[in-house]
Amino acid sequence: MHAEEAITRLSNALAIISQQFDKEAVRTLKDIVDEKHWHYIEQGLQTNNKNLVMHGIIGAMSHYEAEREKEKFDKKIRSITPNT
């Protein structure tokens, strides 16, 4: 999953949760959320706890944002590093 696409999907999920608690929409994120953050989401879904769900989504989003920044940095380094 590309970071941009994952961030978009996770951002949309946060918007949905803040308006309504659509558990099925949240469950569709399982393919892009790591195990650690999915645990928070799963607990939140089981207990109807929006805070836990949002904690998991925001944690996953942070992961992808860091990945996106690393990709940008790597691209920049490659552009200034001479090919050998």
Q: What is the pLDDT of residues 4-20, one digit of tens each?
A: 888 888 888 877 777 77
Could you tell me which residue, 21 or 73, shows the higher pLDDT? 73
Query: Which range marks the domain in which residue 67 is found?
Result: 3-80
**Is 33's pLDDT higher than 90?**
yes
Name the residue among 67, 61, 65 with its Cα closest to residue 15.
61
Output the CA–CA distances (angstroms, integers) from residue 55 to 3, 43, 60, in the order listed. Answer: 18, 11, 9
Query: Per this entry, what is the length of the chain?
Result: 84
**Is 77's pLDDT higher than 80?**
yes
Of all residues in the chain, what percent carry a pLDDT higher than 90? 36
Task: Name the one residue in this structure whose structure tokens are 């949905």.
Answer: 16
Q: Is residue 41 within 8 Å of 56, Cβ to Cβ? A: yes
Number of structural domains found in the chain: 1
pLDDT at 25: 86
Average pLDDT over every residue of 47-63: 89
pTM, whole model, 2 decimals? 0.71
